[in-house]
Amino acid sequence: MMQINTRKQGDWMVYAISGRINGITAPQLEASLRGSIDAGELRIAADLSSVQCLGSAGLWVFLAALRQLGGGEFRLLSPTESVREVLDISGFANIMAISDSLEG
Amino acid sequence: MRVKFWGTRGSLPVAATAGEVKKKIIAALEAANGRQFTSNSEIATFADSLPFAVVGSFGGNSSCVELIGASEEHVICDIGSGARPLGHAKLAAYGPGKPQTYHFFVSHLHWDHLMGLPFFVPIYIPGNRIVMHGCHPDLEAAVRLQMSAPCFPVDFSQIGATVEFDILEPGRDYEIAGFKVRAKLQLHSGDSYGYRFEQAEKSVVYSTDSEHKLENRAEQHTFIDFFRKADLVIFDTMYSLADAITVKADWGHSSNIIAVELCQDAEVVRLAMFHHEPIHDDAKLCSLLDETRRFEEITRDGRAPLEILSAYDGLTVEL
Ligand SMILES: [Zn+2]
Ligand SMILES: [Zn+2]
């Protein structure tokens, strides 16, 4: 339903997520992100280029990560068209850093 | 069963500003595009062809929704400023010679949900019977307070109708005016209550001034049960999801995203967006409706489509 692959890219920890982030899968993503943050990661990016479906449960996980990172950085990478629409409709596009690459 | 919306605005009644009226006139003139009209009826037909945001309006009265069922007794959710035109309509229909019974179901005691009562003319007519149903033990005290000096010139003790207060217990089924009614506690400052009404195999849920915490999934399940297979859910969509869980967290309201998700999970037939943010003009509320429909489409995932409308003052929905 949802798969997570993590990789280090410079000082970023990149979460490549695929599938659906919903009420069932979100807790797994949340636990994994919290683990990385607890382990001291300061810059985390969620690569959404293979995410087909995103709802409030996933958005909540992103907000939780952003808050837990405090002075660190959380970024959403390359959302698909429909996920980008959800980010706009929910107002998350106003409170999250969204970009197509880690530069800039 | 029919549902008529008399007031759909959240927090405070509003009126269209001069700027909004001008925007509508400009949009109408642009749409006319130099066209010639030979009669008033041609103008009216053209006006009717314009988009809702140009020719229509969501209106600005605060919460008041009428449920029209099989009983001759009137059933109304909340007594916001929309109760004023509702009272006038009832007076026009029944006149002072025909005593009526009005059942009000009060979600909570905030101003915007009670302020219409002193302007609901049937309360001044002897012979009418008003029954106020609610779950707040201080319902009567709040109603009396609002109609007492120095808040209002007519004291509650001077109204002509008889008034009864009926304190309901959440989670229990009641038979009132031909409806099966059940109340549910909601998260809101000072508590609020949603109501589920059922009659002749049709069901309506009135759920406004209700915040949903994303971290509390168990609470969300209780709402899915409360909304289950309803023909219409009237839902507080005042804020965007991002606002509702950040800058406006604990303000007691919800969003279109949560509305759609709860209704999808509960297999609801139709969702009415309600308790509109006073700052939004008609164009903004129309674009929020479009976005909400789009979100439902994106997240439908093989389920039956959820029909979505945005309630406006004067709208009647047939179930
Ligand atoms: Zn309200
Ligand atoms: Zn309120």
**All domains of chain A, ordered by start, with CATH?**
2-99 (3.30.750.24)
**Distance between CA B7 and CA B204 in Å, rounded?**
17
- Residue A57 with chain B: CB contacts under 8 Å: 214
pLDDT value of position A11: 94
Contact B291/A at CB under 8 A: yes
Gap from B292 CA to chain A (nearest CA, Å) = 8
Closest alpha carbon to B87 in B106, B70, B67, B102: B102
Query: How far does residue B10's CA lie from ligand 2's centre (Å)?
Result: 8
Q: What is the pTM of this model?
A: 0.96
Q: Would you call B295 and A85 a contact, using CB atoms and an 8 Å cutoff?
A: yes
Contact B246/A at CB under 8 A: yes
Closest alpha carbon to A87 in A77, B249, B280: A77
**Distance between CA B240 and CA A23 in Å, rounded?**
19
Main-chain phi, psi angles of B253, to 5 degrees:
-130, 175
Domain boundaries for CATH 3.60.15.10 within chain B = 2-15+57-318
Look at residue B186 and give its three-state secondary structure. Answer: strand
Q: Would you call A91 and B241 a contact, using CB atoms and an 8 Å cutoff?
A: yes
Of B257, B298, B301, the CB nearest to A56: B257
Q: Which of A89, A92, A95, A98 to mutate to test the interface with B (most CBs of B within 10 A)?
A: A89
Chain A residue with minimum CA distance to B295: A86
Cis peptide before B150 (omega within 30 of 0): yes
Contact B218/A at CB under 8 A: no
Of the listed ligands, the closest to the CA of B252 is 2
B160: which DSSP letter? S
- pLDDT digits over A14-25, tens only? 999 999 999 999
Domain B2-15+57-318 listed as CATH 3.60.15.10: yes
pLDDT value of position B241: 96
Closest alpha carbon to B296 in A62, A55, A18, A25: A55
Contact A23/B at CB under 8 A: yes
Chain B residue with minimum CA distance to A53: B299
Per-residue tens of pLDDT for chain B, all 319 residues? 999 999 999 999 999 999 999 999 999 999 999 899 999 999 999 999 999 999 999 999 999 999 999 999 999 999 999 999 999 999 999 987 899 999 999 999 999 999 999 999 999 999 999 999 999 999 999 999 999 999 999 999 999 999 999 999 999 999 999 999 999 999 999 999 999 999 999 999 999 999 999 988 889 999 999 999 999 999 999 999 999 999 999 999 999 999 999 999 999 999 999 999 999 999 999 999 999 999 999 999 899 999 999 999 999 999 9
Contact B237/A at CB under 8 A: no
Query: How far does residue B153's CA lie from ligand 2's centre (Å)?
Result: 25
Look at residue B151 and give its three-state secondary structure. Answer: coil
Main-chain phi, psi angles of B303, to 5 degrees:
-80, 165
Q: Which of B211, B213, B214 to mutate to test the interface with A (most CBs of A within 10 A)?
A: B214
pLDDT value of position A104: 63
**Distance between CA A66 and CA B32 in Å, rounded?**
50
Structure tokens at A7: 């990789």
**Distance between CA B310 and CA B8 in Å, rounded?**
9
Give the gyration radius of chain B's Cα atoms.
20
pLDDT value of position B97: 84
Chain A residue with minimum CA distance to B215: A60
Name the percent of chain B in helix, strand, coil, to the closest 5. 35, 25, 40
- pLDDT digits over A37-52, tens only? 999 999 999 999 999 9
Of B256, B257, B298, the CB nearest to A82: B298
- Got the DSSP string for chain A? -EEEEEEEETTEEEEEEEEEESTTTHHHHHHHHHHHHHTT--EEEEEEEEEEEE-HHHHHHHHHHHHHHTTSEEEEE---HHHHHHHHHTTGGGTSEEESSS--
- Residue B257 with chain A: CB contacts under 8 Å: 55-56, 59, 89-90
Chain A residue with minimum CA distance to B245: A60
Of B258, B291, B294, the CB nearest to A56: B258
Mean pLDDT by 10 residues, chain A (104 residues): 94 96 94 96 97 95 96 95 97 96 82
Instruction: Give the H or E element holding residue B185.
Output: strand B179-186
Gap from A90 CA to chain B (nearest CA, Å) = 5
Q: Would you call A85 and B294 a contact, using CB atoms and an 8 Å cutoff?
A: yes
Structure tokens at B292: 């909400």
